Structure 1
Amino acid sequence: MKLLIVYTHPNHQSLSYAFLQKVLEGSGENPNIQEVQVLDLYAESFHPVLEFNEHKRRRDMHIDPRLEKYRQQIRWADKLVFVYPIWWGRPPAMLLGYIDQMFAAGFAYRDKDGLFPEGLLAGKSVVCISTMKGPTHYPLFWLNNAHKVLMKRALFQFVGMKKVKFFEFGSMESPKGRHAQKLDRVYRYFQTIAQ
């Protein structure tokens, strides 16, 4: 199995970074995982802003040469792992900008007759590891599960990725947030995951 980890947090002293380290540690001990690549969007200075004009059209985004490196990473990976905080009930704008550009028509999906498109990333699986200040069940009860619906239904399933696993950790700024247990849970998952 080949893992692409997309890490989205500007601070390498953050709890998100600690989760990234646990993903790497567990993956390094798992004989089912042959290769791992990390894409740190902030360190990469990824440009998240969509730009369309008379020279750059949206329908050509899937062949934009500036994004080819990132398309190759997604093609290469069997499993995509996203590590990010939840800010204002959704992923950071940096990650959403990556999603807007990378999951483009012609690369991630193809329109066809009927309601749903053909997902061109079928067969790949996804793990989302997110942290937030609010309580764990806040997105479920106050936001109608908007974060998971956005990521799973509106994005991943739309492009053919049916297997999506969430680690959505709340109360992460609280001294009672049980950080060590949550970090260990992620470590053990990647240490033993088979596919």
Structure 2
Amino acid sequence: MNMLLIYAHPNHQSLSYAFMQQVLRGGGENPGVKEVRVLDLYEEGFDPVLVFNEDKRRRDMHIDPELSRHRELLMWADKIVLIYPIWWGRPPAMMLGFVDRMFASKFAYLDKGGLMPEGLMKGKSVVCISVMKGPTGYLRLVMGNAHQVLMRRALFGYVGIKKVKFFEFGGMESPKGKHAQKLDKVYKYFRAVAQ
């Protein structure tokens, strides 16, 4: 299995970064993982802003030469792992901008005029690892599970990815946040996970 990690946090001293290190460690010890690659969106200076004008047309997003390496990585990956904080009940603008620019028509899906498009990313799986200040149940109880609905249905379901797993860790700014146990849980998952 080829695994692509997409990391969206501006600080390499963050807990999100510590989770990425555990994914790399676990994946590196997993005999089923052939190769792991990392897209660190902030470090590479990824531009999350959509631009449409005379030179950049929406209908050509799927062939934008600026994003060819990113498209190749997404197609190469069997498992896509997104690592990000939850800010204002959702992933950061950097991650959402990556989604806006990358999951384009004719690359991630085909619009056939019906209610739902044909997803072109079938067969892949996704793991979303997110951390937040608020309690773990906040997203489900107060926000109506908006984060998972956004990622599972509005994004990945739309492009044909049915297998989506979430690690949502709350209370992470508290000294009682059980950081070591949560980091170990992610490490053990990736050490053993299959496609």
TM superposition score normalised by structure 1: 0.99
2:122 alignment counterpart: 122
2:154 alignment counterpart: 154
Matched, 1:46 2:82: no
Alpha-carbon offset, residue 143 of structure 1: 0.7
Over residues 8-58 of structure 1, what are the superposed CA-to-partner deviations in whole Å (9 max), with x where a residue is unaligned?
100000000000000000001000001000000000100000011111111
Alpha-carbon offset, residue 108 of structure 1: 0.2
Alpha-carbon offset, residue 113 of structure 1: 3.7
Over residues 49-101 of structure 1, what are the superposed CA-to-partner deviations in whole Å (9 max), with x where a residue is unaligned?
00111111111100100000100000100000000000000000001010001
**Cα distance in 2 between the residues matched to 1:84 and 1:2:** 20
Matched, 1:25 2:25: yes
1:94 alignment partner AA:
M
Alpha-carbon offset, residue 112 of structure 1: 1.2
* Runs of 4+ displaced beyond 4 Å: none
Matched, 1:108 2:88: no
1:95 alignment partner AA:
M
1:109 alignment partner AA:
Y
1:5 alignment counterpart: 5
2:186 alignment counterpart: 186
Which runs of no fewer than 5 residues in structure 1 stay unpaired?
none
SS in 1 for 2:194: coil
**Cα distance in 2 between the residues matched to 1:143 and 1:111:** 30
TM superposition score normalised by structure 2: 0.99
**Cα distance in 2 between the residues matched to 1:172 and 1:161:** 29
Alpha-carbon offset, residue 194 of structure 1: 1.6
**Cα distance in 2 between the residues matched to 1:141 and 1:26:** 31
1:145 alignment counterpart: 145
Over residues 174-194 of structure 1, what are the superposed CA-to-partner deviations in whole Å (9 max), with x where a residue is unaligned?
111100000000000000012
**Cα distance in 2 between the residues matched to 1:177 and 1:11:** 19
1:170 alignment counterpart: 170
**Cα distance in 2 between the residues matched to 1:113 and 1:9:** 37
Counterparts of residues 57-76 of structure 1 (less than 5 Å): 57-76=57-76
**Cα distance in 1 between the residues matched to 2:166 and 2:75:** 22
**Cα distance in 1 between the residues matched to 2:85 and 2:152:** 16
